[in-house]
Amino acid sequence: MYGDIDRILIDRDSIADRVEQLGTQLVGDLGGVADAGNLIVVPVMTGSLFFTADLVRQLPLAFRIQPITISSYPGRSTSSQGIVDQSPLPPGISGSTVLIVDDILDSGRTLGHLDTMLRQAGAADVRFCVLLRKDTARAVEVDCNYVGFDIPETFVVGYGLDYDGLYRNIPDIAVLRSSAIE
């Protein structure tokens, strides 16, 4: 598996430091909402699994976690294919502040789709926290409130991000060798 890695783009220590910083920022911004019992954290599965787990451990707040599954990179895709599968929205959205946690902002379609659906479901506020934001033209413009790292237009794996279901367990953000991508 590690032989498929071309280079490490963001190492695990940098990720840990940035997640801690994001946690501090989120506590400052959402503490009052959480105190009122109106905060729902919605991780976008499966890519945000590691990021969400580390991030919520930085939040000494009251909130509910209600994951949603959306797929836009099916199988061996290295670019977003648009929404190809989605689980139902979690219950209790109406009147709540929703923090969407996702692994990567690429085309913007996934987060744009969620923003529309959550607002239609009556969310009082929708905020976005992404680990990575690609430097690319977006099909849908999304204003991310919290961004871990800006990265160049390249396909990455690790820390939850995958290629064909593999490499999620690499603790760094890495670029695959071209020979590993079929």
Q: What is the pLDDT of residue 173?
A: 98
Q: What is the pLDDT of residue 171?
A: 97
Q: What is the pLDDT of residue 138?
A: 65
**All domains of the chain in start order, with CATH:** 2-180 (3.40.50.2020)
Q: What is the pLDDT of residue 126?
A: 96
pLDDT in tens, the chain (182 residues): 678 899 999 999 999 999 999 999 999 999 888 777 889 999 999 899 999 999 999 999 999 999 998 866 555 555 555 555 567 888 889 999 999 999 999 888 888 889 999 999 999 999 999 999 998 766 667 889 999 999 999 999 999 999 988 999 999 999 999 888 86
Given 54, 102, 106, 172, the catalytic residue? 106
The answer to whether 106 is a known catalytic residue is yes
Name the amino acid, one letter, at 20. Answer: E
How far apart, in whole angstroms, are the C-alpha atoms of residue 163 and residue 95?
37
